Homo-oligomer: A and B are copies of this chain.
Amino acid sequence: MKTCFDCVPCLIRQMVDTARLCTSDDAVIEDALRQCLAEMARMDLGQSPPALGWRLYRLILDRCGATDPLRDMKAQSNRFALSLYPELKASVNRAPDPFAQAARLAIAGNIIDFGAHSSFSEARVRQSIAHALEAPLDPVELDALRHAAASARRILYLADNAGEIVLDKLLIERLGPEKVTVVVRGGPIINDATLEDARAAGLTGMVEVMDNGAPAAGTILDLCSPGLRQRFAAADLVIAKGQGNYETLSHALRPVYFLLKAKCPVVARSLRVKPGDIVLRRGGAA
């Protein structure tokens, strides 16, 4: 997905939010914001929003002298999601269709997105779960995913955010953990999950986890490690969580199942859904 004009003010808003997390020194924030605006004025909008976003994010962090301003928020969202996990797992086990229930809950977790919401809210997560269990979800796409997963031997699961990855465990258990490799980001970017979060979420003891080598949101293949690119090409099934992965892989050269909550009007329009809708959609060269 290329960056649309509406993404520009949204990216700048995210950078203001990020700078405020890094420092309370307005002079530093102002300098960082000016650098961001100057950089944005020169950027290639043919790239995806995460491809622009990670450079702006690094610029803000460098200027503000920070490395991982959302580390505490990520830990908090992991802890909260872990506190919900037992009851959610029980709900999957007693659901008439456990696979569908798990998929819905994994999508619900995608609400934990600091890019879309500038704070972490337990109430918002609970609302997202309640909504995802009731909202329409394409039954044809769901069954296609179910069958693809049943026949796949190597499933690559591209995770998105901290906290969310705890809810991903519910779906991974249904996919067959022995077949799944979970991919996290190669370095801190917004509240995206890293290896540290995968450990906190208990994923590392359950499945193979690798980082993609890139400190960017989404999966920008050109930035990722050769190992990740090889796995991406060789997997029988790729599942990609969240807006960032959709924005960066919507035109991938292989089929990808996108599972996300559409949180912004641009992504919603691209998917032909409404903001707030839950989405399970096969894309890429599908």
Q: Is the CB of B16 within 8 A of A33?
A: no
**CA A104 – CA B125 in complex, angstroms?**
39
Complex CA distance for A10 and B6, rounded to whole angstroms: 11
Within 8 Å by CB of A12, from B9, B29, B35, B42, lies: B9
Q: How far is the CA of A38 from the CA of B34 in the complex (A)?
A: 9
Task: State the copy count for this chain.
Answer: 2
Chain B residue with Cβ nearest A35: B41
Contacts of A26 in B (CB 8 A): 5
* In the complex, A75 has a CB within 8 A of chain B: no
Residues A9 and B13 in contact in the complex (CB < 8 Å), given A30-B45, A41-B34, A45-B30: yes
Contact partner of A38 among B8, B30, B37, CB < 8 A? Answer: B37
Please indicate the chain B residues that have their CB under 8 angstroms from the CB of A40 in the complex. Answer: 37
A33 in complex: contacting residue of B8, B10, B19, B20, CB < 8 Å: B8
Q: Taking chain A's interface residues, is the majority helix, strand, or loop, or is none over half, making it mixed?
A: helix
- Taking CB atoms, residues of chain B closer than 8 Å to A35 are 41
Q: How far is the CA of A19 from the CA of B26 in the complex (A)?
A: 30
Task: Name the distance in Å between A162's Cβ and chain B's nearest Cβ.
Answer: 25
Residues B30 and A5 in contact, CB atoms below 8 Å apart: yes
What is the chain B residue whose CB lies nearest that of A15?
B9
Whether the Cβ atoms of A16 and B12 lie closer than 8 Å is no
Q: When chains A and B are docked, how far (Å) is the Cα of A58 from the Cα of B29?
A: 27
Contact with B along A12-30 (1 / 0, CB 8 A): 1100100110000010011
The docked-state distance in angstroms from the alpha carbon of A33 to that of B11 is 14
Indicate with 1 or 0, residue by residue over A34-69, a CB within 8 angstroms of chain B CB atoms: 110110111001000000000000000000000000
Interchain nearest-CB distance for A197 vs B (Å) = 28
Give the Cβ gap from A25 to chain B, nearest Cβ, in Å.
12
Residues of A that sit less than 8 Å from B by CB: 5-6, 8-10, 12-13, 16, 19-20, 26, 29-30, 33-35, 37-38, 40-42, 45
- What would 8 more interface pairs be, CB under 8 Å, given A9-B10, A34-B42, A37-B38? A5-B20, A5-B26, A8-B12, A8-B33, A9-B9, A12-B12, A37-B37, A37-B41
